[in-house]
Chains A and B, each alone.
Chain A
Amino acid sequence: AQTVTQSQPEMSVQEAETVTLSCTYDTSESDYYLFWYKQPPSRQMILVIRQEAYKQQNATENRFSVNFQKAAKSFSLKISDSQLGDAAMYFCAYRSAVQGAQKLVFGQGTRLTINP
């Protein structure tokens, strides 16, 4: 079974600075998807970024980028120019690309605080 590990329960960063959230995963599959979801106090899960394992290029979405290291099974999220609205719980998630696989496996989450 696949597992996702987020080793940082809490992180904090000064507004406008850069922060990196860590995520590692364990799988024997070669094709899969990785995601970062954000859950602000409103508790709605919002997709931040998505990475296909077969793509070597790291995904980016505006101030959010990932460092995907397939061999090391590492998938970290970098937030540049942190803003107060980035404060949230961040979940790393794994999903198999096998036909019929529908389960999204989440890590335990990292609570990010932005200091003004």
Chain B
Amino acid sequence: DTEVTQTPKHLVMGMTNKKSLKCEQHMGHRAMYWYKQKAKKPPELMFVYSYEKLSINESVPSRFSPECPNSSLLNLHLHALQPEDSALYLCASSLNEVEKLFFGSGTQLSVL
């Protein structure tokens, strides 16, 4: 299994909603990442988990809350988002902190 699986593929939410994005991998990778990508721009790092501990938070607003329940799962909890948070959210994993990243196919989020 060489896949990073993200659900849902598309999400539309209002500014008062609470929703969660889910990411799963079964490659035994110990580092997992959340990236945000706006149209026609490169991905921007949001969070990194290494061995299930949050190791990097790129000054992301608190309305985004990551969670790593176990080594295979990564969640991103969303609450009180703004329309400017609409973007593609990509999850990635790597064997360790220097190996290549494997990306999921993303969740396209629209905030109304």
Contacts and interface: CB of A to CB of B under 8 A. Distances in A.
> For chain A, what secondary structure do more than half of its interface residues adopt (helix, strand, loop), or is it mixed?
loop
B47 to A, nearest CB: 10
A42 B104 CA distance: 11
A1 to B, nearest CB: 13
A35 B100 contact: yes
A35 B31 CA distance: 18
B90 A45 contact: yes
Nearest to A108: B42
Interface residues of B, number: 25
Label chain B's interface by main secondary structure.
Answer: strand
Interface residues of A, number: 23
B97 A102 contact: yes
Contacts of B90: 45
Interface stretch (B16-24, B48-56, B64-72, B77-85): B48-56
A7 to B, nearest CB: 14
B98 A106 contact: no
B104 A44 contact: yes
A104 B45 contact: yes
B92 A102 contact: no
Contacts of B48: 102-103
Interface in B4-41: 31, 33, 37, 40-41
9 contacts: A45-B101, A46-B103, A91-B42, A99-B97, A102-B33, A102-B98, A103-B56, A104-B45, A104-B101
Interface of B: 31, 33, 37, 40-43, 45, 48, 50, 55-56, 88, 90, 92, 97-98, 100-106, 108
